[in-house]
Chain A
């Protein structure tokens, strides 16, 4: 079975550019989470969706960050404009219905903003 798929795996961009990270959850899963991981702050929950609807976006750091889930098989996290402090690994995770809280994580996107 395919796991959670994230693209790109690595992204290097310059400050001020728009960055779009993509996630395909496991088919049939109805929750989707976006996390950011840095050495300083550890793993932070940014936003999560249930049945494509955003439930809690209180972790989104500022208006430069936005996330969408247009359908059950696709989500994007967009940063516009990007800044060097956004450099991190961004993970997507999903949970199946009745999944007893086990989150299935993707391999992550390593973002570097120069």
Chain B
């Protein structure tokens, strides 16, 4: 069935380090792909998205590329900041506006 597998956390990095959070999905067809971010004490908010193969979504220095051949959508940032500390969720459209999410990866960035 439809599912998302993302890198288990927690991930702890120093400020200015490079970040990669891996995400792969199992889905029928070629759904739109998303990364959502959840800051402490808040709901999820859309970070970036890609709607077709080879599209690159980007926002706030984060990037992810829709790789159809590997069914992946890995999240990257070249230089993380303390303010990036949050939980990151990979997901895709599961039909009828429903989203299928991964379990989330908690990122902590230390100064």
Contact = CB atoms under 8 A, between A and B. Distances in A.
A42 B32 contact: no
A107 B34 contact: no
Interface string A49-83: 01000011000000000000000000000000000
B70 interface: no
Contact of B45 (A31, A95, A105): A105
Interface residues of A, number: 23
B46 A102 contact: yes
A51 B96 CA distance: 13
Contact of A93 (B43, B51, B102, B104): B43
Q: Is the interface of B mostly helix, strand, loop or mixed?
A: loop
Interface centre among A55, A99, A100, A103 (most CB of B within 10 A): A103
Interface string B67-111: 000000000000000000000010001001111011110000000
Interface string B43-68: 11110010100000000000000000
Interface string B26-45: 00000010100000011111
Given A43-B44, A102-B46, A103-B99, 20 more contacts: A31-B97, A33-B98, A42-B101, A43-B89, A43-B103, A48-B97, A55-B96, A91-B43, A91-B44, A95-B97, A99-B97, A101-B34, A101-B97, A102-B34, A102-B49, A103-B46, A105-B43, A105-B44, A107-B41, A107-B43
Interface of A: 4, 31, 33, 42-43, 45, 48, 50, 55-56, 91, 93, 95, 99-108
